[in-house]
Amino acid sequence: MKLANAAFLFLITGQFTLCQGSRERIGEYVATGQQFLVVDPDVDETIILYEDPDAKPVPLTRVYWFCPSKHAPDRNEDGQYDNVVSHALTFRPEGEFNDIIAEGASVSGSWTPHGYVAAWGKGGTYDEFLVDYDDRTMHKFIETEANSASIAGWELSDAGDTSGLVISGVGEWISDTTDARLVKLSEALGAELTGENCNAKYAEVWKAANPKKSKTSAGAATCDLQTASYWVKTKEITKDNFMWEAPLYDENNNAVGSWFQNEFDMGDGCYGTAQLSLDDTVSVMALAFNCATDHNPIMGGSGDWKCATGQAVFKSTGNKYKLHVEWCSACDDE
């Protein structure tokens, strides 16, 4: 499922002792299978400002996690890598995710999949790019001093969209996974920070954002994958304690039912259940979800979704949430 087309460019610059720092960093990255770029407001504030005249500057707290290289030839056999290609992830903690959504962000969730490339140039530095696959976002990293980098960025919005933004601040390259900020990333992942786990998380997030339109296995039975998409308008969401509720619309903007979501904390994160109630079929689907992700397994339901297994993908697109569901019922023939 694709978001509205946008161009989002991060420029990371700084003062540096030319190439040695980035050469060592890329060499370590290829050898260890991962690297991290941390944006931490406790170290140096990085601000994002959306285009709405009433928008307020929001401090960012996020981590860019680069997975093992898929291509990194050592052409001169000198232990240096002139060209590197890999996958990568952006992780936004719940606080930042909620803050930027409130200001009009169009983001796919706490985790976002990317492609990464680094190419050594004659100027003695790497050209580094991070490409966002689902909304044509591009990041460029230009490193010139130690492990810090100043950040400037922007995103353009399409006609009718209001997710444009500008960014300014500082990021830091980190490799020590015992750093407190990376420990929090590991806790959000629910696993150790390794290149293998980065690849696994990337595959999970990418597949959730790009569901396959094919037959799916549901228990011992197989059936045709069924899909549906609905909209919730953020301005119509009401909250009573831990219960969220809003009208549900189809893709033609017709009111078709209601959306409910209940959040609770099990001690290791934000979890809960959600359901879609459709007025025309009286069908209900219950979902189990983790607040740190935008894709959630379907637990089952009633009516059309009896015995359903599958997934639901929740994505913010400016002033609306799109709820895309895919399911296959194991008891269709009963």
Residues 47 and 158 in one domain: yes
Residues 200 and 60 in one domain: yes
Residues 179 and 291 in one domain: no
Lowest mean pLDDT among 15-24, 107-116, 145-154: 15-24
* Choice between 199 and 220, residue whose per-residue pLDDT is larger: 199
> What's residue 288's pLDDT?
63
Q: What are the two backbone dihedrals, phi and then psi, of residue 234, each rounded to the nearest 5 degrees?
A: -60, -35
Instruction: Work out the percent of the chain whose per-residue pLDDT is above 90.
Output: 18
Residues 147 and 285 in one domain: no
> What's residue 51's pLDDT?
85
Residues 272 and 125 in one domain: no
The whole domain housing 202 covers 8-209
Residues 189 and 72 in one domain: yes
Instruction: Read off the pLDDT of residues 2-51 as tens digits, 9 standing for 90 and up.
Output: 333 333 333 333 333 334 578 888 999 999 999 999 988 887 788 888 88
> What's residue 218's pLDDT?
36
> CA-to-CA distance for 326 and 170, rounded, in angstroms?
40
Instruction: Read off the pLDDT of residues 276-310 as tens digits, 9 standing for 90 and up.
Output: 777 655 556 666 666 556 666 676 666 666 666 67
> CA-to-CA distance for 37 and 35, rounded, in angstroms?
7
Last residue of a domain, one of 145, 178, 209: 209
Q: Is residue 3 part of a domain?
A: no
Last residue of a domain, one of 184, 209, 234: 209
Instruction: Work out the percent of the chain whose per-residue pLDDT is above 70.
Output: 65
> CA-to-CA distance for 231 and 215, rounded, in angstroms?
25
Task: Assign 265 a pLDDT band (cuts: 50, 70, 90).
Answer: low
| SS3 label, residue 101 | helix
Last residue of a domain, one of 164, 194, 209: 209
Q: What is the number of other CB atoms lying within 10 angstroms of the CB of residue 34? A: 22
Average pLDDT, the chain: 74
Residues 101 and 232 in one domain: no
> What's residue 185's pLDDT?
94
Task: Report whether 260 contacts 277 (CB < 8 A).
Answer: yes
Query: In the predicted model, is pLDDT for residue 117 greater than 90?
Result: yes
Residues 228 and 184 in one domain: no
